[in-house]
């Protein structure tokens, strides 16, 4: 990576950390665990989507659409649409460079315990003309102990490589980093 894109990737990571300081998990009271986790993840993903699209100029897709999740107030400030959280089980930011990839978050149940996980889903191969995606786990916790700071720390370590992938339009930085630092959790 050249010096300009290396500096830019580091700047994006630092800005992302600063953006997260504006999220107040303690303000989310009166919600069930699913809604609390998805509200926190929505805040994080909306800020991340905004930061990456503004700083890199890349067109990233969100599912559900960013404007269904919240209203942008400017200056990295989003107001979450609480009604959108009611049935929300997953959020995804995706792009296609040649090979597809996404950062996804979901709540799921395992042994009657509600859990939340965040993972990169990276296109690794093609079978019968269809892409095959492999998932690399960034963060996984019981919803009751979900910690935005821990998730942000795990994710921010990969952010420079994700930014580099977007800026250079080469998949190796994010793919190599994910394979080296995150657990492969499935296809």
- Residues 56, 167: contact at Cβ < 8 Å? yes
Q: What is the pLDDT of residue 90?
A: 95
The full DSSP string for 10-30 is HHHHHHHHHHHTT--GGG--S
Q: What is the pLDDT of residue 85?
A: 81
Q: What is the pLDDT of residue 174?
A: 92
pLDDT in tens, 105-132: 999 999 999 999 999 999 988 888 888 9
Q: pTM, whole model, 2 decimals?
A: 0.87
Residue 177 DSSP SS3: helix
Q: Domain spans of the chain?
A: 3-186
Q: What is the pLDDT of residue 96?
A: 65
């Amino acid at each position: 990576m050249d010096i300009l894109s290396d500096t830019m990737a580091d700047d994006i990571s630092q800005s992302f950390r600063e953006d997260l300081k504006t999220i107040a998990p303690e303000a989310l009271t009166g919600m069930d665990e699913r809604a609390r986790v998805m509200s926190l993840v929505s805040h994080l993903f909306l800020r991340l989507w905004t930061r990456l699209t503004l700083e890199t100029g890349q067109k990233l897709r969100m599912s559900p659409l960013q404007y269904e999740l919240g209203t942008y107030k400017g200056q990295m400030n989003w107001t979450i649409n609480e009604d959108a959280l009611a049935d929300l089980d997953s959020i995804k930011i995706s792009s296609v460079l040649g090979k597809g990839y996404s950062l996804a978050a979901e709540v799921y149940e395992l042994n009657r315990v509600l859990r939340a996980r965040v993972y990169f889903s990276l296109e690794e191969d093609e079978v019968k003309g269809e892409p095959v995606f492999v998932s690399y786990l960034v963060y996984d916790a019981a919803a009751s102990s979900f910690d935005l700071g821990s998730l942000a720390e795990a994710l921010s370590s990969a952010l420079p490589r994700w930014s580099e992938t977007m800026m250079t339009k080469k998949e190796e930085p994010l793919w190599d980093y994910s394979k080296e630092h995150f657990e492969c959790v499935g296809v």
